[in-house]
Amino acid sequence: MKYYINEDGNTVFTSQYHRAKNSCCHSNCLHCPYGTTLKNLGVKIHSYDETNKQEIEKLYDQLYHIKDNFTASLIGDAFGKTASQPDASELSLLTLKDIPCGLIEIKNKEIRSFKLLEHFGDQGINETYLNSIL
């Protein structure tokens, strides 16, 4: 998909669209696959609190599905480990340009897990990057 319509009715170009142009326009596009937006503006981490509780719970419903629990259970049974998904209140919100892009679980200043919304997976937001901003 090269674009989508956001909740405000605006057209938002995906990283697939930007890659097809073969160069960066240096406009800090939301889904810049060249790292410009990430470098210039960075991802922000917002702890679970009353101001972002609803957004975290909304993303939690999108990113942590029942099938994830089932899959985790199967893997746990197969390898003798128990895996579980975090509670929404244990997560922090990740934003890029003040737009929610994912959730992260941090315990003792270490990343336990993180999940990104589909359109943010091609922008260099990975564990190494997230560790660098903790």
In the block, which residue shows the tokens 């170009």? 13
In the block, which residue shows the tokens 């990113």? 63
Q: What are the structure tokens assigned to 16, written together?
A: 């697939």
Express each pLDDT in 84-119 by its tens digit.
678 999 999 999 999 999 999 999 999 999 999 988
For residue 73, the model assigns a pLDDT of 58
Number of folded domains that form the chain = 1
Please answer whether residues 119 and 50 qualify as being in contact, where contact means their C-beta atoms are separated by less than 8 angstroms: no
For residue 64, the model assigns a pLDDT of 85
DSSP-derived letter for residue 75 is H
Please answer whether residues 28 and 40 qualify as being in contact, where contact means their C-beta atoms are separated by less than 8 angstroms: yes
Residue 14 is which amino acid?
T
Is the overall model pTM greater than 0.85, yes or no? Answer: no
* Dihedral angle of Cα 47, 48, 50, 55, to the nearest 10 degrees: 100
Express each pLDDT in 40-99 by its tens digit.
999 999 999 999 999 999 999 999 874 555 555 555 566 554 456 789 999 999 999 999
Task: Tell me the residue range of the domain where 75 lies.
Answer: 3-133
